[in-house]
Structure 1
């Protein structure tokens, strides 16, 4: 499971990951990504998951 998120929604992404997997996620900086934030459709800055 990988959640892409903007700076504003990083907390929501971490909470969702922990709720679904019951594990701590890796948080990676996404550079020059064309991915969009799962919560607001802005450009993703982080990838949360494993």
Structure 2
């Protein structure tokens, strides 16, 4: 019975760690996308300014 409890505990810890990792990965992915979008927008604005002058 103790072995089952230990397995359950390990599974719970792994599940929690996986959840935290996925949250961090999602946050990192979103921030990277935001950064790329900002850079692209900045470049487009620069190009438009260059064309106008």
Bigger Cα Rg: 2
Q: Report TM bin, short chain.
A: under 0.3
Q: TM (normalized to structure 2)?
A: 0.26
Q: TM (normalized to structure 1)?
A: 0.28
